[in-house]
Amino acid sequence: MLLPDCASKMSEDKLGCNSVWNGDCCVREGDAVCNGKASKGLFLNLMPKKPGLSDFAKDPRKGAESLRPMLEEALRVIPAEQHSTTPLRLGATAGLRLLPGDEAVNLLKEVRTLLGSSGFMFQPEWVNIIDGTQEGSYQWVTTNYLRGSLGRRLDETVGIVDLGGGSVQMAYAISDEDYINAPKAGKDEVASVQQVKLLNMTYNLYVHSYLHYGLLAFRAEVFKHSEGTTCPCVAKDFEGSYMYAGVKHMAAVRDEGSHYMDCRALVVKILNVDHACKHLKCTFGGVWNGGGGDGFKQLFVASFFFDKAVDAGIIRNKKVASAVVAPSEFERAAKKFCSLSLAEIVQRFPKLKEQKRKYICLDLVYQYILLVTGFGIDPNQKVTLVKKILHRGSEVEASWPLGSAIELVSGYQ
């Protein structure tokens, strides 16, 4: 993520800025205006990059080199005279948090070497692994910023559930009363509440990140629990193994194939929803749920939720940026796919790629149970599946890096 240099102080009124203002610059969805001139910023020109850094755990130098195309794009779009005053950051998420041994350390070391020679403003500590709470709060800021909700009342904001590969984050604004009564963080624990000030409004933000409960990580948990027996979540004709975080998991298939109710029971067990709750209300694993309230009434769910909804046909138009659905639609799709063999899935859904169809029963069951049993959302409550948000005439990716950029320019803590 890079931000253009902002040298002189200008008034907000002069720029007509109703986006993010840090006292120096007006940062908008397509540019950052400083000294009356517009200059492109990389964090506003998102470049989807796959595979991610964690996929290069065994070859850290190659992992760093995989970032070079983005770095070259930044060098191209940001004026040369601003390179030395343009800060450059990299934040890694759950994929690196879950790597064993020194693999993450070695990856970040190579990345620091690459970025340190870029010519941009850079400090080694700007390459780091952000914790899940930061990721969740950045995602909340991104979503509400793009919707134009920042600076408005709590009941005009939306909550977010962001399902990544290694973790899932939930974040929403809570009342003053819930903030005051929030459980205190224990030793070595991350506080679940924080106060953030954005656009002259202070929000009490509840954030919790559930490591190992991302979609890809949860698949591994299911296969771990199925070792020595058959797995009810994989279809008949399934062959092979599942690799995650450098560990291979074998899956034995039942003669009759996948079964929705049996898979559901296994997912509920692993989700640990019956864990003792020391608070008034918990999600799963004994985690306080934040108290609910107005900030939780409208939910935007992102990342793998959107992708799997497209795969399963819940979202039929692949070109849409968002869609309003009920969690029950995930259950309906799960029942359908869990009743099919792999051969039948191939026949009925020929465009669905192999790596997706192998796990689609499990993925849909998990997503439904996570929303309804884990987070307590009514099966018929409408939620917004979101990939991009329409903002000032442009569809902008609803992902956490933009929130991180806003933090950098607005003094958000």
Give mean pLDDT, residues 87-99.
86
Q: Which residues touch 79 (CB under 8 Å, ≥6 apart)?
A: 39
Identity of residue 191: A
In this predicted model, what pLDDT tens digit does every residue of 208-217 receive, in sequence order? Answer: 999 999 999 9
Residue 169 known to bind ligand: yes
**What global pTM score does this model have?**
0.82
Which residues of 182-298 form beta strands (DSSP E)? 193-198, 201-211, 230-231, 241-244, 247-250, 252-253
Give mean pLDDT, residues 48-66.
88
Q: Is the pLDDT of residue 357 over 70?
A: yes
394 Rama sector, left if φ>0, alpha if ψ -120 to 50, beta otherwise: beta
Q: Which residues touch 45 (CB under 8 Å, ≥6 apart)?
A: 73, 77
Phi, psi at 36, each rounded to 5°: 75, 5
Confidence label for 185 from pLDDT (cuts 50, 70 and 90)? confident
In this predicted model, what pLDDT tens digit does every residue of 375-393 receive, in sequence order? Answer: 999 999 999 999 999 998 9
Percent of the chain with pLDDT over 70: 86
Residue 286 known to bind ligand: no
In this prediction, residue 219 carries a pLDDT of 98
Phi, psi at 29, each rounded to 5°: -70, -25
Burial label for 186, CB within 10 Å (0-12, 13-18, 19+), is exposed
Q: Is the pLDDT of residue 233 over 70?
A: yes
Tokens for 165, please give them.
């590969």
CA dist., res. 258 & res. 365, Å (int): 11
Catalytic residue numbers?
135
Q: Which alpha helices (DSSP H) does 99-197 contain, by range?
A: 103-116, 132-147, 176-180
Percent of the chain with pLDDT over 90: 67
Residue 186 known to bind ligand: no
Domains and CATH numbers, the chain: 12-129 (3.30.420.40), 132-413 (3.30.420.150)
Residue 194 known to bind ligand: no
Residue 166 known to bind ligand: yes
